[in-house]
Structure 1
């Protein structure tokens, strides 16, 4: 039975491990954190959103970024400090504007495929993740924004998505708690929401039941390739107390989020992933009045770049913004405040006294498409770079990379000593 090491225990890495186990591989997962789903998969917006599959490669995105560059609470914020990585990424981003329509349609199809796989897995493994299947409602305050969304909607529908325009009156009937002034919206009844951290940890437990081994606090220091791979990692909280280990594998799959770029460089590949920071707040709905005032239908405010999800009776997640500021995980008050203010504006009955802020780094490729496939060296594979759609796409990209691996490394080959 071939041995495969997956680096990364976020939603993509754990989904990849599960897909490989389904095909009969011996799977080990390494992660530098103490538990699974502790980085980008910890507290994201919670949306499983094929309706948010539009890639960002448009001139309007560039112009907004320039306009908002010195506005600290802007939905899209870029640190203008020079950085070769950042500006090379932006140059490639611009080059992919020509592929905007094609990539949006492709991403939509991938998201719809992923939804099917993920729902089947959750049911089969009995994973409870506060799943709410009430659709996603995109809201627009201005006619110009709504008209632009109509053009986007045509691409999403072309990709196979059931998404339709709705009037203000229909919005009120879909989500009665939303009382702010609007022009119109689009509704996708097949989209849903949930707690990505709960889902990922539940899926990791399912993988362990199926025989996978998970090693946490495992900081991969070196990868050697001879007849097989030797992966060297350290475990422990500090270098002077670290214990050093080595594990052998027939193949390696990089699912390491923003760290995938460094791993790829070590393995002879170029992966131009940039860490785009996003923020979220989790509002504790301690009082019955707040529970009644918070929406159950997931929302996406396109102008503010804010999404919401209801995580059970007592939690309301509000997330958004994009910040180009390198490997910076600081939780900035001036970036969190717009999320709180947005909540108070649209849902004044929700008490925001108890709010838990969070920031995470989305691993984005310049074309906004995940990198799924082989590396240059035999036995090296990638499933990474999903950006803001990691949870939405992970079940499908995991199936894709597992199929590629099964073509290169059939499960009946003789185990390498």
Structure 2
């Protein structure tokens, strides 16, 4: 047993990386955080939908998802878009996705339990560190336009309940009482009062600052060149501008989002993450009428696969869709347009003149479950692959992996 604090590296400065660094530092580890950008949370943790959504814990491994993907393949504005151009990575990922369909119910319940636990951790950390991230406790309303999708939601609710979540069915009249600004005709909805929203970028940068206060050394602007392990130590080579630095650590936690797959391969592990692109728009509510016409309650529209969150008085975030198109980060106009049109249809009083588009690559495992745990070699750990639930799950998986480090590398 070592009589000093183990020296741990964390690769990745998104939401999973900064929460992992924080959780390790709270346990007394010496931590160095590597991030290729100049600041924390500049990629997938920059402008997501903003939902801490236990109610969105349903995994995607369902035959209905596969059928929708095939049906929508030739529609450029489809909620789920698959580039038909083949690649070994994509084909292997989809084969494992289909193989995980029998675990749909079990994984949905397990994800719900994780998300419930994450909520407690997040609330405690935010209170302890005094974080300001536009946290709003107005609940999340799932909206459905037809009987079929509403009835499927009823089946999902039973799985969520097994995981500990309470959500209730609501009529169209109750939906309008919950969110009066919502326009359109709906078959019904489901409302989760306990779900919340917030700005992922503000939360992540706040956690990064909190980690630094606990002694975490942050190496921003350091692009990872190589990661090696000999079973006794981990050697990381990173490039900072024109300079290359090599450092040795007792262990490493890989939290590198879509880059985790390549880093894992260097360490002898297979972490089959695929980059699933999601889009968002941030609507600037620059006038009083738009501010009054935008919803306070967070929404999830199952048909369009869009979510929305109100971030403070002056911003309205709409995000979603899933695009399987490799490591392409292009912001496509034909993918942004449906988000703007959704705002115009559902909230016609909101002006959409000032809209900021964004796209990010969600790191998704084929079974939609995050990879949290040790690798093959001593001192190597993973906390990655959270897909569309990074904000929802990060606090608990950070605590879980820090506990695993504590068991394997006592100090």
TM-score of the pair, normalised by structure 1: 0.97
Instruction: Work out the CA distance in 1 between the residues paired with 2:165 and 2:215.
Output: 36
TM-superposed CA distance for 1:158, in Å, is 1.1
Q: Residue deviations 1:332-390, cap 9 Å, x none? A: 00000000000000000000000000000000000000000000011100000000001
Q: Is it true that 1:83 corresponds to 2:87 in the alignment? A: yes
1:38, 1:119 → 2: CA distance? 23
Q: CA deviation at 1:224?
A: 3.0
The alignment partner of 2:100 has SS state of: helix
Which is worse superposed, 299-308 or 223-232?
A: 223-232
CA contact (8 A) 2:290 2:349 kept: yes
In angstroms, what is the RMSD of aligned CA positions? 0.6
Picking from 156, 159, 177, the partner of 1:173 is 177
CA distance in 1, matches of 2:9, 2:321: 34
1:229 aligns with 2:234: yes
Unaligned 5+ residue runs, structure 2? none
Q: CA–CA distance in 1 between the matches of 2:84 and 2:183? A: 38
Alignment of 1:402 onto 2:402: yes
- 1:29 is aligned, of 18, 33, 37, to 33
**One of 120, 132, 135 as aligned partner of 2:136:** 132
C-alpha contact 2:138 2:195 (8 A) present in aligned 1: yes
SS of equivalent to 1:115? helix
The 2-side partners of 1:205 and 1:244 are apart by: 25
Instruction: Provide the secondary structure at the position in 2 that maps to 1:42.
Output: coil
2:204 is matched with which residue?
Answer: 200
Give the aligned partner of residue 327 of structure 2: 327
Answer whether contact 2:279 2:321 (CA < 8 A) is retained: yes
Match of 2:7 among 3, 10, 17: 3
Moved over 3 A (4+): none
1:414 aligned partner: none
In the TM superposition, 1:294-313 aligns within 5 A as: 294-313=294-313
Contact 2:75/2:81, CA 8 A, preserved across alignment: yes
**105, 108, 117: which one pairs with 2:121?**
117
Give the distance between the partners of 1:293 and 1:368, measured in 2 at CA: 35
**Counterpart for residue 65 of structure 2:** 61
Q: 1:137-286 residue pairs with structure 2 within 5 A?
A: 137-226=141-230, 227-236=232-241, 242-286=242-286
Q: After superposition, what is the alpha-carbon deviation per residue over 1:17-75, rounded to whole angstroms, capped at 9, x for unaligned?
A: 11101110000000111110000000000000000000000011000000000100000
* Partner secondary structure for residue 42 of structure 2: coil
Deviation at 1:220, TM superposition (A): 1.0
Aligned pairs, number: 406
1:52 aligns with 2:50: no
User: Does structure 1 retain, via aligned residues, the 8 Å contact 2:183–2:345?
Assistant: no
1:225 Cα offset (Å): 2.7
Farther-moved stretch of structure 1 (283-292 vs 140-149)? 140-149
Distance 1:33 1:396 in 2: 25
CA contact (8 A) 2:45 2:201 kept: yes
